[in-house]
Chains A and B, each alone.
Chain A
Amino acid sequence: MLALAIAFGVLARRGRAMGESRLAFWAGWTAVGLVWQSLDWPIGPLAAGYLASAHAVQFLTLALAAPPLLLLAVRKPLAAAVPTAGRGHAVAMFLTQPIIAGVLFNLITITTHVPSVVDRFMPSQLGAFAIDALWFAGGLVLWWPLVVGAPQRAWFSPPVRMLYLFMATLVHTGIAMVMLISRFPMYGIYELAPPWEVWSPLEDQHLAGGVMELAGAAIIFGILTVMFFRWSGGVAGDNAPKAPPRD
């Protein structure tokens, strides 16, 4: 966590020097705070072995909410660091290819929600950390083409970007739906955890599915709405009648 904060601090200062806005700077620090809050007490320990709903909150924070805010503050230094030629450029082109990014994010999302994987990894600190780190890394990969956008791709227009974001986040909605309709708890680690007086493991799982579904949709559709109005505003601006030149 400290390493992330230091690395972000260095890059964010560079971003400010390169003209990044104060709002983006503070959005980035908010993301660092979100990551810290989702890994620390109470969400971290609860997610590690007690509540699937806390685990769902962690997923949303680490994969969907924090990465775009973080990248927003450091997109200029990151874009400047991407090689513009040679093998490095080819590697960057491949890794930030939206299709690759989308597939990678969904592979991580699916794998880290398979019950046998969760039950095997979550009981150990290292395993739980690996899942958290994968979510965060997957989130950075997912959001990179949208927020950093380097290397640039001519075909990755605003409508395609919106389609990319919508398609890339469909899988987690499906997982949430399975959690919502399941008749039995899917994850042994939460089913066999010391009892939580407030709700049963199955109710907790339904809550987790609901959180993933609703909060996830709120994040994605909120961002899609912003993207849409920015794009439609730009299109309207381009089509607006030009004022006649003054004599």
Chain B
Amino acid sequence: MSRLSPHPLLAAALCILACAAPAPRHGVSLEPPIPRPTFTLTDTRGKAYDFARETRGRLTFLFFGYTNCPDVCPVHVSNVAAVLHKLSFEDQQRSAFVFVTVDPARDSLPAVRAWLDHFDKTFVGLRGDAALVDSLMGTLGLPPAIRAAPTEPNGWYEVGHAAPVIVFTADDVARVMYPFGTRQLDWAEDIPRLLKVGR
């Protein structure tokens, strides 16, 4: 009785083809890819949050913004949240959204928590020294935030900041980031693909 025994190289090639995750269709490709950074900031419970350790092996959405942001931050975050809510429970457990405030002077930990709770109670909010956050952004290839002088009598001011969502896949590498303007449909198409990367 003969048994089908494929050539080892052919089997390997087939496996690579079968296992290759489909590439995301939207966003901006990062060349070279960015490894998952190692940093520790304070989370909204007031505890140290080791980003690399807490998010390792999970699809991680990293976003820098501030809670007084009038438009870009809430729209961008809510669009990711809307699509994450439509994922299966298992896929939601394999995903993490981490928000780092670029405006620590105004964004207290409770303020960050309250703001994130509008979108999702599981979203992680981090706060740290402005210089530390700026240098972290630099390691990710983002320009530092620009904190303008107060323009309103009540002391309100805007913070200029890069607003892409950087996505780290399960293999702890970011190959793509999503600028403001990414639609929910785009996320809905890419997130399932990104969940397959590195598994």
Give chain A's interface residues, CB within 8 Å of chain B: 183-185, 188, 191-195, 200-202
In the assembled complex, which residues on chain B have CB atoms less than 8 Å from the CB atom of A194? 70-71, 75
In the assembled complex, which residues on chain B have CB atoms less than 8 Å from the CB atom of A200? 78, 82
In the assembled complex, which residues on chain A have CB atoms less than 8 Å from the CB atom of B183? 184-185, 188, 191-192
A-B contact pairs, 23 of them (CB 8 A): A183-B86, A184-B82, A184-B185, A184-B188, A185-B183, A185-B184, A188-B183, A191-B75, A191-B79, A191-B183, A191-B184, A192-B180, A192-B181, A193-B71, A193-B75, A194-B75, A195-B71, A195-B74, A195-B75, A195-B78, A200-B78, A201-B184, A202-B184
Instruction: Add 4 more A-B contacts to A192-B181, A195-B78 (CB < 8 A).
Output: A183-B86, A184-B185, A194-B75, A195-B74
In the assembled complex, which residues on chain A have CB atoms less than 8 Å from the CB atom of B71? 193-195
Which chain B residue shows the least CB distance to A119?
Answer: B183
Q: CA A191 – CA B74 in complex, angstroms?
A: 11
In the assembled complex, which residues on chain B have CB atoms less than 8 Å from the CB atom of A185? 183-184
Give chain B's interface residues, CB within 8 Å of chain A: 70-71, 74-75, 78-79, 82-83, 86, 180-181, 183-185, 188
Which chain A residue shows the least CB distance to B188?
Answer: A184
Q: CA A188 – CA B182 in complex, angstroms?
A: 9
Q: CA A237 – CA B82 in complex, angstroms?
A: 60
In the assembled complex, which residues on chain A have CB atoms less than 8 Å from the CB atom of B188? 183-184
In the assembled complex, which residues on chain A have CB atoms less than 8 Å from the CB atom of B79? 191
**What secondary structure prevails in chain A residues at the interface with B?**
loop
CB distance from A52 to the nearest CB of B (A): 14
Contact assessment for B184 and A184 in the assembled complex, using a CB-CB cutoff below 8 Å? yes
In the assembled complex, which residues on chain A have CB atoms less than 8 Å from the CB atom of B70? 194
In the assembled complex, which residues on chain B have CB atoms less than 8 Å from the CB atom of A201? 184
CB distance from A219 to the nearest CB of B (A): 31
In the assembled complex, which residues on chain B have CB atoms less than 8 Å from the CB atom of A191? 75, 79, 183-184
In the assembled complex, which residues on chain A have CB atoms less than 8 Å from the CB atom of B184? 184-185, 191, 201-202
In the assembled complex, which residues on chain A have CB atoms less than 8 Å from the CB atom of B180? 192
CB distance from A20 to the nearest CB of B (A): 50
CB distance from B80 to the nearest CB of A (A): 12
B70, B79, B180, B184 — most chain A CB neighbours (10 Å) = B184
Q: CA A201 – CA B188 in complex, angstroms?
A: 15
Q: CA A201 – CA B185 in complex, angstroms?
A: 13
Q: CA A194 – CA B70 in complex, angstroms?
A: 7
CB distance from B81 to the nearest CB of A (A): 9
B71, B183, B188 — most chain A CB neighbours (10 Å) = B183
In the assembled complex, which residues on chain B have CB atoms less than 8 Å from the CB atom of A184? 82-83, 183-185, 188
In the assembled complex, which residues on chain B have CB atoms less than 8 Å from the CB atom of A193? 71, 75
CB distance from A194 to the nearest CB of B (A): 4
CB distance from A65 to the nearest CB of B (A): 32
Which chain B residue shows the least CB distance to A194?
Answer: B71
Which chain B residue shows the least CB distance to A186?
Answer: B185
Q: CA A200 – CA B74 in complex, angstroms?
A: 11
CB distance from A161 to the nearest CB of B (A): 41
A184, A194, A201 — most chain B CB neighbours (10 Å) = A184
In the assembled complex, which residues on chain A have CB atoms less than 8 Å from the CB atom of B181? 188, 192
CB distance from B91 to the nearest CB of A (A): 16
Q: CA A191 – CA B70 in complex, angstroms?
A: 15
Which chain B residue shows the least CB distance to A202?
Answer: B82
In the assembled complex, which residues on chain A have CB atoms less than 8 Å from the CB atom of B78? 195, 200
CB distance from B180 to the nearest CB of A (A): 8
B79, B83, B86, B180 — most chain A CB neighbours (10 Å) = B79
In the assembled complex, which residues on chain A have CB atoms less than 8 Å from the CB atom of B82? 184, 200, 202
Q: CA A202 – CA B184 in complex, angstroms?
A: 10
Q: CA A193 – CA B86 in complex, angstroms?
A: 22
